[in-house]
Amino acid sequence: MSVSNTVIEAKNLCKTYIVNKHQNNVLKNIDLKITEGEMTAIMGPSGSGKSTLLYCISGMDRVTSGEVNFCGRNITKLGEKELSQLRLDEMGFIFQQMYMLKNLSVLDNIILPAVSSKKNTESHRKTEERGRALMHRLGIDDVSSNDINEVSGGQLQRACIARSVINSPKIIFADEPTGALNRSSSDSVMNELLMLNRDGTTIMCVTHDPKVAAKCSRVLYLIDGGIVAEKVLGSFGGSETDLRTRERELSNWLMEQGW
């Protein structure tokens, strides 16, 4: 596999916390490669290290040892300012808790990463136009001027998706993106992520929901800080029949892993 189509590669990644003088090895010798256009789900029991893995490979948290390469660049060697700029310009983030600035409208929250990015040379008006276009695509253009406490959870998470792609990132990291949503809103958000993926955006998604993972092309299973199994599902065709088949296949596999 060539370096050119590898977005993220972790080599012998370890993360250790010291709590009350006791060493807690959260991630142990992780080797992981995510290639361009993949939609990868990370699953495992509570406390297995799923979110920590996402934070470490995205540069939000420092690794204890090992190496993380982003598009061939070793980000474990970067300073905080360089890392922050890299995350802003080249990565998108979606979380279970929908972090938005309360003093800004929904639209202003969406375009904030673009306004803050040094690589963005367009006018503020052009940036706003792109933000409104994303909101229209996601079906939330009618709430652009609303405060964030004036929209539903599903609308707010779709706004987070719009914000995550405003700088055309090479990868989106999603940590339980549907965890705080009902099933209808969850399906809507996942369908939007699928559309982004079909347009070529690489996505890594931490989830506890097999219905969410079944729409991904690959599932990695963590136990006690290590990747112990991998399930390749391939591209999701989009039909309900295909989804039910994938859900059954994934559920059987998860049971084999001790889910």
| Domain CATH number, residue 138 | 3.40.50.300
Residue 11 CA, chain-centre distance (Å), reads 20
Residues in the chain: 259
Long-range CB pairs of 250-259 (<8 Å, 24+ gap) are 250/210, 250/213, 250/214, 250/219, 251/210, 253/219, 253/229, 254/43, 254/210, 254/221, 257/221, 257/223, 257/228, 257/229, 258/45, 258/223, 259/43, 259/45
Give me the sign of the Cα torsion angle 121, 126, 128, 129.
negative
What's the average model confidence in pLDDT over 27-46?
A: 95
Which ranges of the chain would DSSP assign to H, the alpha helix? 50-57, 80-90, 106-116, 124-137, 153-165, 183-198, 210-213, 240-257
Measured from the Cβ of residue 223, the count of other Cβ atoms closer than 10 Å reads 15
Q: How many domains does the chain have?
A: 1
Band the pLDDT of 2: cuts 50, 70, 90: very low
Strands 171-175 and 91-95, by their bridges, are parallel
Contact 34, 54 (CB under 8 A): no
Global pTM? Answer: 0.92
pLDDT score for 42: 97
Residues of the domain holding 200: 3-257
- The least confident of 41-50, 151-160, 183-192 is 183-192
* 52 pLDDT more than 70: yes
Average pLDDT, the chain: 92
Encoded tokens for 17: 């916390």
Asked if residue 4 has pLDDT above 70, the reply is no
What is the tens place of the pLDDT at every residue in 112-168?
Answer: 999 999 888 999 999 999 999 999 989 999 999 999 999 998 899 999 999 999 999
Confidence category of residue 184, pLDDT binned at 50, 70, 90: confident
Largest separation between any pair of C-alpha atoms in the chain: 54
Range with the lowest mean pLDDT among 12-26, 60-74, 197-211? 12-26
Give 201-235 pLDDT, tens digit per residue. Answer: 999 999 999 999 999 999 999 999 999 999 999 99
Rg of the chain on CA atoms, in Å: 18
Average pLDDT over residues 53-81: 95
Instruction: At 48, give phi and psi (nearest 5°).
Output: -80, -15
The residue-averaged pLDDT of 34-51 equals 95
80-127 pLDDT, tens digit each: 999 999 999 999 999 888 789 999 999 999 999 999 998 889 999 999
